[in-house]
Amino acid sequence: MPLLFNQDGAATTHGNNATFAEVSAASQPWLVEANQLVKRYGAHLALDHISLQVRPGEIYGLIGPDGAGKSSLLKAVAGVLAHDEGELRVFSQLINTEADSELIKDRIGLMPQGLGQNLYGDLSVEENIDYFGGLRLLSAEALRERKEALLKSTRLERFRDRPMKNLSGGMKQKLGLVCTLIHEPKLVILDEPTTGVDPVSRREFWSILSRLLQEKGITALVSTAYMDEASRFHRVSLMHEGKILASGEPARMKDLAAGCIVSTVCADAQQQMAAVQRLSQQFPQLEALGQEIRVFVDSADADTARQQVLQTLQQTPAIAQAQTEVQDAELEDVFIALLRQRVAADTNADVNVAGPVLATAADTAAVVSAARPSTQQLAIEARELSRHFGEFKAVDQVSFQVPQGEIFGLLGANGAGKSTVIKMLTGILTQSSGQGMVAGADMRTAGLQIRERIGYMSQAFSLYLDLSVLENIRLYAGIYGLSRQQTAERMDWILNMAGLRPFGHALTASLPMGLRQRLALGCALIHRPQVLFLDEPTSGVDPLGRRAFWEVLFRLSREEHVTILVTTHYMSEAEHCDHIALMYAGRVVADASPEQLKSRLEQEAGQLVEVDCADAPQALQVLQQAGFASASLFGPKLHVLLKDLEADSQGVRASLQAFDVSAIKPRRLSMEDVFVHIVTSLEQQDAQHQDTQHQKGST
């Protein structure tokens, strides 16, 4: 049964007939009201008696794994998918037929999943907006006024003549939002609008959306694969297998799973592996982030949780003196704990939901050859690597080194040059200048023998969707020239590693994205490579799938010394990396471990704090105007970096006297904070430089 919160914030359980009456004192009718909604695809139950209500003016979030039913629910509300049972009302209109849906479609804006999926690639920014304005029968004057206002709000004015296909991922999504809002709908439905978008663009997208919704009184129903985005919503529902596990305000959702996080930092990879093996026997939910291990301890207060973890670690002498720290659980931790507890209750057994389909150490050993180079040997080296396309410098003298067995993260905004670097290092593109070395060989001249030592999983999907799982594996085995016996061995490992044994004969197109990506990883590893290149491997994959995927990468790196170079837009995944190179405009602008980058940011910009106040979007503008340039919107609260914690906190309170500041609390820095700070600072420097050049040119 779903868990809800009453008006005082206490968790309560209800059957599927439950309403949200107890969580709202509002008297206005629900804008969206679903009661016992059912949708079937053949024998598959996509929506299993779903009940929820959305208030006018709020941002309501749907969060859950692939196949949870989020998209089906959004499409039903948008009137583009018929439901089989139950009752659905939108704007108080009962939706039972296509004719019913037509009565409300002029008040709805739908933005489908995928970068620019509702746009036309060969049309310019302005032409796309004009096309959607025409579809909505706007007058020329209304279209002009709204277009100029939205272009200004989204900072797309300078790009109005650029073809959509040449925009970055973040710009495509902002244009998609403009086209969705051009007719000023009362309800906007967004299906994973920021998947594949870099953190700076994601924050900007949500800030723009929040401001526009507030100005126009628009309601939003949103699905997302990013758990951290849930804090930006007024209320959320956690979905799994067509059902709602829990609903309520994000800040209160964390109370649904009793327990807390105990963090342990290990001295080296060997100590970390020993700690993971020991802790996983006692605690079913844990993850490794770089040299850190985060353990979720069920039903325990901070002191008890720390003691339980320390007692477990003390059973292994090599890690008996480990340092621990207790942290508040994040919403992703709570979601996984809820799901784990539910599965355990259904099966009367402990289930490791954080990694349900992970390879064991013995399984993973079959992936790589017995002979392993020393972990001190460089596996990847870029020496002033450059690639030009005409006069455009996609990659500009990039240099970095990756030791054997390290997980190396290559981060950057859309268009920073990350994929181009990978393509040069794998020999797909030739460099304009510089050298790219992999496994001791120059990839420009490397023969087939060297190429067989690397695995590559591209950003574009690399499997054949019309082939079955087993057929895809056999195809890749044939490409790499594996014998029949080798193919059988690798196939057995892939099916275990990816949790695909029940789906061997299923078409790849029918698999959830998380399983597809693990199949693609298995195919990239089928020939036992020493070096693995992964270009945004988990884009669009749900939190459970991402954790399972990274558990496999962790074991490959720590146990078998496979070198992994990965690009990602999920900054929580960047925490998994041993080392990070951050790219901006084709250049490496930061090169250090995650903890070093956080330490540098704290020294440079100060302590991160969270400000709890009324009317956060308006308060943000006031705070930025008062000189707190780092301030950003984070759900119903504000995040800001303060150099002098005590004095600057007083300055924040003084600036926000009209906004009823109830609390200013220190927060731990994340890699997203680091990424946003560095990239935003560089963007501001570039903007100032362009203004200076423009002024010189005009004089």
Q: What tokens appear for 425 in the block?
A: 């290092």
Contact by Cβ (8 Å): 362, 497? no
pLDDT at 67: 75
How far apart CA 371 and CA 553 sit, in angstroms, is 19
Strands lying side by side in the sheet with 44-54:
44-54, 32-41, 85-90, 93-94
Distances in Å between the Cα of 141 and the Cα atoms of 130, 133, 148, 182 are 12, 11, 11, 13
| Beta sheet of 433-438, edge-to-edge order | 392-403, 378-389, 433-438, 441-442
The continuous run of DSSP H or E covering 269 comes out as helix 269-282
**DSSP letter at 329?**
P
What's the alpha-carbon Rg for the chain, to the nearest Å? Answer: 26
CATH: 3.50.4, 3.30.70, 2.30.110, 1.10.3470. Which one for 256-353? 3.30.70
In the chain, CATH 3.30.70 sits at 256-353, 596-697
**Three-state SS across 467-527?**
CEHHHHHHHHHHHCCCCHHHHHHHHHHHHHHCCCHHHCCCEHHHCCHHHHHHHHHHHHHCC
Residues of the chain with pLDDT under 50: 1-27, 348-375
Q: Is 573 exposed, middle or buried (0-12, 13-18, 19+ CB in 10 A)?
A: buried
Distance CA 69, CA 46 (A): 5
State in words which class domain 596-697 has: alpha beta
How far is 234 from 247, CA to CA, in rounded Å?
A: 11
Neighbours of 454 (CB within 10 A): 25
b vs e for 575-590, b when ≥16 Cβ sit within 10 Å of the residue's Cβ?
bbbbbbbbbbbbbbeb
- Looking at the chain, which residues constitute the CATH 3.40.50.300 domain(s)? 3-248, 363-592
d(CA 293, CA 304): 18
CB 188, CB 109: distance < 8 Å: yes
How confident is the model at residue 653, as a pLDDT?
95
Q: What is the pLDDT of residue 439?
A: 85
Q: Is 5 helix (H, G, I), strand (E, B) or coil?
A: strand
Strand partners for 296: 261
pLDDT of residue 9: 38
Backbone angles phi, psi at 608, to 5 degrees: -80, 130
Per CATH, the number for 3-248 is: 3.40.50.300
243-245-248-254 Cα dihedral, nearest 10 degrees:
-150
Neighbour count for residue 59 (Cβ, 10 Å): 24
The fold of the 363-592 domain, in CATH, is Rossmann fold (3.40.50)
**Gap between the Cα atoms of 342 and 187, Å rounded:** 33
- The pLDDT of residue 563: 95
Task: Please give the pLDDT value at position 449.
Answer: 63
Nearest to 635 by CA among 263, 261, 253, 113: 253
Q: Is 545 helix (H, G, I), strand (E, B) or coil?
A: helix
